[in-house]
Amino acid sequence: MAVDIRNVTKKREQRYSYGLTLLRDCIEKDRVLPRDEDIFKKTILKVEDITINFGGLNALTDVNLELRDGELLAIIGPNGAGKTTLLNVISGFYRPQQGDVYFQDKKITHYSSHRIAEMGICRTFQNIALYTGLSVIDNIIAGRHPHIRYNFLIGMLYFPWARREEARQRAISEDIVDFLEMEHVRNTTVGTLAYGLRKRAELGRALALEPRVLLLDEPMAGMNLDEKEDIARFIIDIHEFLSIPIVMIEHDMGVVMDIADRIAVLDFGLKIGDGTPEEIRKNPKVVSAYLGEE
């Protein structure tokens, strides 16, 4: 049951429009680099010599990783390799014992999680972490939090500009709902949704934050083929249309080989490979540690 990239491409071509123009405008407005050929040479996120252990267990050992602007980087590795831990370090959720994280050449190792999110490093979780009591649209509007420009007093008094701002945020959020094809469940409480739709809502909430870098932790895990193809399609769309660099953890090797620009391989907290899908396929270490098993 592998995702067929041709199906995905066909479905993408059938689509009339992405509908993400509002969000795209927001992201373009303060994009540091112009959208041209050079952006691929520029490193946007860098992880340097990260070491972290939990009570004797080395979750990550001297891991180095670079993400260039506009790139789709996949991280693969067996269970317990430290993939999620690496994302947690990047989003400021775990503090590494050694090493640093740089975002656009700025050291962010000791920034608090919410500041890192405000800077534009947005993510989804392996175990869905939505705001269970809110509807899909409210979850996405809640994701707009750092970009809403009024304080709580203005909100309480509901001044006209608060009202206008709310409408603007709602428009952007509805745009995301349309893009993810979730119109039919827009007002449904996320706690009651099916697993695949919840994963999709989480992707929507991460998009709402206007990511400069998007971190996806196993976005397709536990889904059926149809749902996987949809998610693959959305990821390619986001990557191409918004030109957001993406780091994606994924176990489905077919998808990874098809859509990733570059692949990094982790095993027992060590990075054992890093390169294009072709290089990874030929890398003997990777084959013996990971691919060989299949």
Minimum separation from the CB atom of position 283 to ligand ATP (A):
19
Q: Which of residues 98-137 bind other proteins (CB under 8 A)?
A: 112-114, 117-118, 122-123, 125, 129-135, 137
Indicate whether 80 belongs to the interface with ligand ATP (CB under 6 A): yes
User: Cβ of residue 78: shortest distance to other proteins, in angstroms?
Assistant: 25
Phi, then psi, of 21 in degrees rounded to 5: -60, -40
120-159 footprint of ligand ATP as x/- string (CB under 6 A): ------x---------------------------------
Q: Which is nearer to ligand ATP, 56 or 284 (CB)?
A: 56
Q: How far is the C-alpha of 178 from the C-alpha of 161, rounded, in Å? A: 25
Check binding of 58 to Mg ion (CB under 5 A).
Answer: no
Q: Look at residue 143 and give the partner it binds from other proteins, ligand ATP, Mg ion, none, a contact being a CB closer than 5 to 8 Å depending on partner kind.
A: other proteins
Instruction: Yes or no: say if 92 and 116 are a contact pair by the CB < 8 Å rule.
Output: yes
Return the closest-CA partner of residue 246 out of 294, 279, 212.
Answer: 212
Q: Is 85 in the site for other proteins (CB under 8 A)?
A: no
Instruction: Quickly tell me which residue has 């479905």 as its tokens.
Output: 11
209 contacts which partner out of other proteins, ligand ATP, Mg ion, none, CB within 5 to 8 A by kind? Answer: other proteins
Which residue, 109 or 135, has its beta carbon nearer to other proteins?
Answer: 135
Burial of 247 by CB count in 10 Å (0-12 exposed, 13-18 middle, 19+ buried)?
Answer: buried
By CB under 6 A, tell whether 84 contacts ligand ATP. yes
Question: Which 26-45 residues touch other proteins, going by CB under 8 A?
Answer: none
The reply on whether position 157 binds other proteins by CB under 8 A is yes
Give the footprint of ligand ATP on this chain (CB under 6 A).
54, 57, 59, 77, 79-85, 126
Give the footprint of other proteins on this chain (CB under 8 A).
91-93, 112-114, 117-118, 122-123, 125, 129-135, 137-138, 141-143, 145-146, 148, 150, 152, 155-158, 162-163, 166-167, 170-171, 174, 187, 189, 205-206, 209
